[in-house]
């Protein structure tokens, strides 16, 4: 297997594999949507997650001031809206209005969720870590409520492929995305190895 030595900056593209999300935020009367790919979960119980946002984004101060945000997970049908919210700024447009996405009240937070998304995760910020000399900050948060459409999430796992389940959008960079495809189970690999 021949591998090419890359510039370290290319490593982030190889780690884009997590699903891309809409993050909603609300500061006072103003709300907004920002597309976020640099997100991760860190701990299951208590459920701790985080997003990485640069202060250049209009959403940055809104998220910081509010101390909360909602991660909204789209299925493949929302590709246009996802990319739109990733290059247009709330400084210039009302992204709810322009995309037609619908605000849905959250269970606990003041920040609205996005109705058309197949899952919504309400997050209360517990730590903010500036990284890269303040170029980005990681907003670490505790999940205070989580919602999912049971056609796509069975309570423990995403349903995929043959069951007509979730086709989450995974950002590859530029304008390209991949869809979540099929579930492969370690148990089947064991059976195959033993056969």
Ligand X SMILES: Cc1cc2nc3c(=O)[nH]c(=O)nc-3n(C[C@H](O)[C@H](O)[C@H](O)COP(=O)(O)O)c2cc1C
Long-range pairs for 112-115: beta carbons < 8 A, 24 or more residues apart: 112/24, 112/26, 112/31, 112/70, 113/24, 113/70, 113/72, 113/147, 114/22, 114/24, 114/33, 114/70, 114/72, 114/74
Backbone angles phi, psi at 88, to 5 degrees: -95, 145
Footprint on residues 144-173 left by ligand X (CB under 6 A): 171
User: Does 83 participate in binding ligand X (rule CB under 6 A)?
Assistant: yes
Of 37 and 111, the one with the shorter C-beta distance to ligand X is 37
Kindly list the distances between the CA atom of residue 171 and the CA atoms of 42, 64, 79, 103, in Å, as whole numbers in the listed order.
20, 25, 10, 24
- The CB-nearest residue to ligand X is 86
Binding mask 40-69 for ligand X (x = CB under 6 A): ------------xxx--xxx----------
Question: In whole angstroms, what is the distance from residue 170 CA to residue 40 CA?
Answer: 13
Region binding ligand X by CB under 6 A among candidate stretches 31-39, 102-110, 143-151, 182-190 = 31-39
Among 34, 66, 114, 141, binds ligand X (CB under 6 A): 34
* Nearest distance in Å: CB 28, ligand X: 16
Of 59 and 120, the one with the shorter C-beta distance to ligand X is 59
Of 89 and 183, the one with the shorter C-beta distance to ligand X is 89
Say if residues 71 and 36 touch (Cβ distance below 8 Å).
yes
User: Does 38 participate in binding ligand X (rule CB under 6 A)?
Assistant: yes
Cβ neighbors of 105 (< 8 A, separation 6 or more) are: 112, 113
Among 19, 22, 26, 36, binds ligand X (CB under 6 A): 36
Q: Which residues bind ligand X (CB under 6 A)?
A: 20, 32, 34-38, 52-54, 57-59, 83, 86-91, 171
């Amino acid at each position: 297997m021949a591998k090419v030595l890359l510039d370290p900056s290319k490593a982030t593209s190889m780690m884009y594999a997590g699903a891309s999300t809409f993050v909603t935020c609300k500061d006072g009367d103003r709300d907004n949507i920002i597309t976020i790919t640099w997100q991760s979960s860190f701990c299951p119980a208590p459920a701790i997650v985080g997003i990485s946002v640069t202060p250049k984004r209009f959403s940055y101060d809104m998220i910081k001031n509010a101390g909360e945000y909602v991660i909204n997970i789209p299925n493949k049908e929302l590709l246009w809206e996802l990319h739109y919210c990733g290059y247009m700024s709330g400084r210039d447009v009302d992204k709810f209005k322009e995309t037609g996405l619908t605000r849905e009240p959250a269970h606990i937070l003041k920040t609205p969720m996005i109705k058309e998304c197949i899952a919504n995760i309400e997050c209360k910020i517990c730590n903010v870590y500036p990284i890269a000399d303040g170029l980005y900050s990681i907003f670490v948060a505790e999940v205070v409520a989580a919602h999912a459409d049971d056609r796509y999430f069975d309570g423990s796992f995403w349903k995929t492929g043959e069951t007509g389940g979730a086709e989450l959008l995974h950002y590859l960079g530029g304008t390209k995305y991949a869809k979540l495809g099929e579930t492969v189970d370690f148990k089947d690999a064991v059976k195959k190895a033993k056969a």
